[in-house]
Amino acid sequence: MEDSSGRRKRRFWSTKTEEIVTGYLCLLPTLLYAAVFLVFPVFFSLVLSFQRWPMFGPKKFVGWQNYQRILQDEVFWLSLRNALHYAVLYVPLSIILALAVAMLLNQPIRGVNLYRTGYFVPVVTSSVAVAVVWSFLFNTDYGLLNDFLTRLGGSRVGWLTNPDIAMYSVVIFSLWKGLGGNVVLYLAALQGVPGHLYEAAKIDGAGPWAQFRYITWPLVTPTTFFMFIMGIIGAIQVFEQIYIMTGGGPMRATYVVFMYMYDYAFRYNEMGYASAVGYLMAVIIFALTLINMRVSSKYVYYEQG
């Protein structure tokens, strides 16, 4: 760069330095957001987990007492069993249904894009709003499901009021709500399977089941592995549908860990104890994830090439 007299001006920064500074300035709003709303809460809640804080009173350091109290609380272990029960029911069914629907939607049928959109719509709808709608559907006295059953001569079912059925009702809703996301993942995996493999299998006389067993399933196992791990993590953290549809009842049949944590944080105002529950669950989820990765990875097909 030259001035009016033709002499070359000295640059305070090099071009490369200016580009770096400009890049960080562009990232600054995102970095500030992450620092304030992500990083700070993580460390603040960790410190809080070793304190007793009634939210509107002074903090008191109690060391490991919060964690010891959690491990001695039978209600915590009940909520953890319920969360694992939900995960065991939801995750395998969600994977099986998603793969079946994705294989159907991967066929050259008329209006397939409309069907794909229809399956994905529940994913982008408000969880709270659709949970309220499904609560009305499951209502014992005036729900549409019981109205349909009574018209067929059956008796009313306590979908959300019977302790033996309530968890299954929540799982049914969750399957409907989350199916579209898994279907999209499986569709992407199925469309990545080379077509010549199926052609060669047909020439060799392989039927639909043989093609699925030896071609489709091995090539979608990486996607299945990802969905299984993420499904377990998400299922153990289930909260919204439980809170809206059952509130943890009846008789704590659907009372899961994050309902337990929510109650201590916002009903009993024990923020330190609730923070300890959150970190203990983080450790448990991390351990379960490592175990799942160690076991499930043995069944994943990795294409050589």
List, as one string, the DSSP characters of 78-101. Answer: HHHHHHHHHHHHHHHHHHHHHHHH
pLDDT at 3: 53
Report which of 79, 82, 102 is spatially closest to residue 90, judged by C-alpha positions. Answer: 82
Q: Between vectors from CA 282 to CA 75 and to CA 31, what angle results, nearest 5°?
A: 135
Which amino acid appears at position 243 of this protein? Y
Which residues neighbour 55 within 8 Å (Cβ) at sequence distance 6 or greater? 269, 271
pTM of the model: 0.86
Can you give the residue ranges of every domain in the chain?
Answer: 15-48, 65-299
pLDDT at 93: 96
pLDDT at 195: 86
Containing H/E element for 110? Answer: none
- Per the document, the length of the chain is 305
3 state DSSP class of 61? strand
- In angstroms, rounded to a whole number, what is the distance separating the alpha carbons of residues 76 and 256? 8
Tokens 């994830």: give the residue. 289
Tokens representing residue 144 in the block = 């549409």
pLDDT at 194: 87
Name the class of domain 65-299.
Answer: mainly alpha
* DSSP structure class, residue 251: T
pLDDT at 22: 85
- In angstroms, rounded to a whole number, what is the distance separating the alpha carbons of residues 233 and 253? 21
pLDDT at 297: 73
pLDDT at 164: 94
Report which of 127, 66, 103, 101 is spatially closest to residue 273, judged by C-alpha positions. Answer: 66
Containing H/E element for 52? Answer: strand 51-52
Query: What dihedral angle (degrees, nearest 10) is formed by the CA atoms of 162, 168, 169, 175?
Result: 170
pLDDT at 305: 45
pLDDT at 292: 82
Q: Are 221 and 99 in contact (CB under 8 A)?
A: no
- In angstroms, rounded to a whole number, what is the distance separating the alpha carbons of residues 221 and 305? 17
Residues of the chain with pLDDT under 70: 1-14, 301-305
